[in-house]
Structure formats: structure tokens, C-alpha cells
């Protein structure tokens, strides 16, 4: 039940002016039971698309995705209730004027009493060192503060599955360590895409995505080594500054 399974999943999108669709993900079958799953790979390889399948933001063109017993198409409401999704760009997620209001909005369904909701929001903001910024406009926060706030707002409701799409891109060293510790301590299942290979090394299982396919699935250290080898092989032989060759 507490697993995520992909059965023969492909994702294709139409291409303007062509009868041939673009394939974003190709024939993916996986059974993810580990607590922390890392997804790594080059820009444009398909990591975000893979993650977005987990809450029905992207739907399979073929195959099925089942998250903790819920099909992401047929049971999308149940799935969205179980899956907390933290986007790479926090401004695409934060909808309220201030952090306090955003966290309280997240809690609206789970805590009906407004005083209890406010108290829980304070606890969550405090845990992430954001309490002193709680009433500031989200547009006045730094990128890293917003990224941390987006994580706090999603974690506030204790989702059964936490999906993190490149959650550390804007974080300084201290907050990256806070994220790292938070992910390590969480009891729920975490699926995280990242370009931060140190974070990837903390994972129980790593998937390497390349051109819409899973080209490695296994131990984190081996996955990172495989990804490094792929990157090395893909580097151009001429320096990037040299456009004459």
C-alpha cells in the first residue's frame, strides 16, 4: 500500500505543426517502496515530468501511476490529498500575501479551529526559522526564504508522500543543511529531484533519468557515479568559449 508504482508509463505531448508527438518519458515501470527516493539527470531529461506524474499534474499517455493505493487519474483527489508537492519556483506555489497566511491556508482543511490553526502555523514557521518573516509580503522575502516557506507550507499538513522538485536551488548552506536534516528525519516517503549530488547521496535509492528513460535505478553512490559518467561523456570536446570550432 505505501508504495509508488509506475506500470509501463509513457508521456507524450503534441507538437505544433507535426503529427508526431514529443516523448517526454518512455516506458517507465517502477515500484518505489524506499523512504527516500532521489531523481537525478541532466536538464530537460524528464525529472520534473516524472515527479508531476505523482500528483496527477501530468497524466500518463500510456500506463498507470499508483501512489499509496490511489490511481493518479481515477483517484486524483485522494492522491492530491496524500501528496505534498514543493515546486522549484516557490512563487508558483505561494498564493497568499504573507507566509503566515499561506501556512494557515494549507492547514485550513486539516485544522478547523482558527486558534489551533494559527498556533500550528507559528510552530511550523518557527521550525524553519521563518517566524520573524511571517507577516512580511512574500514578494519582500529572498528567494531562499520563499523556497523554505514553500516547503514549510507543504510540510505543515503532514502529507503521506512529499515530492520535492529541486528544493535546494536557492538555499544557502545553512538552510540546505536544514532541508537535508528535515528530509532525513521525516517519516513519510520523499521523492526528490535534485542537481545537488550531495543531497542525492543521502537517498535510499536513486533513479538516473536520461532522455525520458530511467537509465539507472539503485544505490545512491552508484547512481551519482553513473550520472557523473553520463555528464562527462556529454561534454563538448571544445571549450564553450571557443565558438570557432
Ligand X SMILES: Nc1ncnc2c1ncn2[C@@H]1O[C@H](COP(=O)(O)OP(=O)(O)OP(=O)(O)O)[C@@H](O)[C@H]1O
Per CB under 6 A, residues contacting ligand X are: 13, 22, 24, 41, 43-49
Torsion of CA 172, 178, 183, 184, to 10 degrees: 120
Between 47 and 117, name the residue whose CB sits nearer to ligand X.
Answer: 47
* Closest listed residue to residue 36, CA positions, set 212, 201, 234: 201
Between 134 and 164, name the residue whose CB sits nearer to ligand X.
Answer: 164
The CA–CA distances, whole Å, from 105 to 182, 199, 213 equal 22, 29, 37
Q: Which residue has the cell 564553450?
A: 240
CB of 99 to ligand X, least distance (A): 25
Between 131 and 201, name the residue whose CB sits nearer to ligand X.
Answer: 201
Between 7 and 23, name the residue whose CB sits nearer to ligand X.
Answer: 23
CB of 198 to ligand X, least distance (A): 17
Between 121 and 150, name the residue whose CB sits nearer to ligand X.
Answer: 150
DSSP per residue over 7-65, as a string? EEEEEEE--TT-SSPEEEEEEEEEEE-SSEEEEEE-TTSSHHHHHHGGGTSS--SEEEE
Distance CA 54, CA 90 (A): 19
Distance CA 149, CA 128 (A): 8
Between 49 and 82, name the residue whose CB sits nearer to ligand X.
Answer: 49
For residues 60 and 11, the answer to whether their CB atoms sit within 8 Å is yes
CB of 65 to ligand X, least distance (A): 15
Rama region for 9: left / alpha / beta (φ>0; ψ in -120 to 50; rest): beta
Between 111 and 203, name the residue whose CB sits nearer to ligand X.
Answer: 203
CB of 58 to ligand X, least distance (A): 8
CB of 40 to ligand X, least distance (A): 9
**Cell matching residue 122:** 507559528
CB of 214 to ligand X, least distance (A): 12
For residues 208 and 220, the answer to whether their CB atoms sit within 8 Å is no
CB of 63 to ligand X, least distance (A): 17
Amino acid at each position: 500500500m505505501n508504495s509508488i508504482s509506475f506500470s509501463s508509463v509513457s508521456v507524450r505531448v503534441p507538437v505544433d505543426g507535426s503529427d508526431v508527438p514529443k516523448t517526454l518519458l518512455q516506458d517507465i515501470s517502477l515500484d518505489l517502496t524506499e523512504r527516500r527516493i532521489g531523481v537525478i539527470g541532466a536538464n530537460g531529461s524528464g525529472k520534473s515530468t516524472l515527479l508531476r506524474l505523482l500528483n496527477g499534474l501530468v497524466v500518463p499517455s500510456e500506463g498507470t501511476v499508483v501512489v499509496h493505493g490511489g490511481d493518479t487519474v481515477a483517484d486524483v483527489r485522494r492522491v492530491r490529498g496524500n501528496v505534498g508537492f514543493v515546486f522549484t519556483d516557490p512563487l508558483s506555489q505561494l498564493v497568499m500575501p504573507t507566509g503566515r497566511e499561506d501556512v494557515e491556508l494549507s492547514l485550513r482543511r486539516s485544522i478547523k479551529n482558527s486558534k489551533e490553526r494559527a498556533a500550528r502555523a507559528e510552530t511550523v514557521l518557527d521550525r524553519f526559522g521563518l517566524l520573524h518573516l511571517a507577516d512580511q509580503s512574500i514578494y519582500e522575502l529572498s528567494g531562499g526564504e520563499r523556497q523554505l516557506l514553500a516547503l514549510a507550507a507543504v510540510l505543515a499538513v503532514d502529507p503521506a508522500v512529499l515530492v520535492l522538485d529541486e528544493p535546494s536551488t536557492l538555499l544557502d548552506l545553512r538552510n540546505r543543511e536544514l532541508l537535508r536534516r528535515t528530509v532525513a528525519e521525516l517519516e513519510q516517503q520523499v521523492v526528490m529531484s535534485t542537481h545537488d549530488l550531495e543531497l542525492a547521496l543521502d537517498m535510499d535509492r536513486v533513479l538516473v533519468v536520461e532522455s525520458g528513460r530511467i537509465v539507472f535505478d539503485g544505490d545512491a553512490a552508484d547512481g551519482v557515479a553513473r550520472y557523473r559518467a553520463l555528464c562527462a561523456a556529454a561534454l563538448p570536446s571544445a571549450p564553450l568559449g571557443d565558438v570557432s570550432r
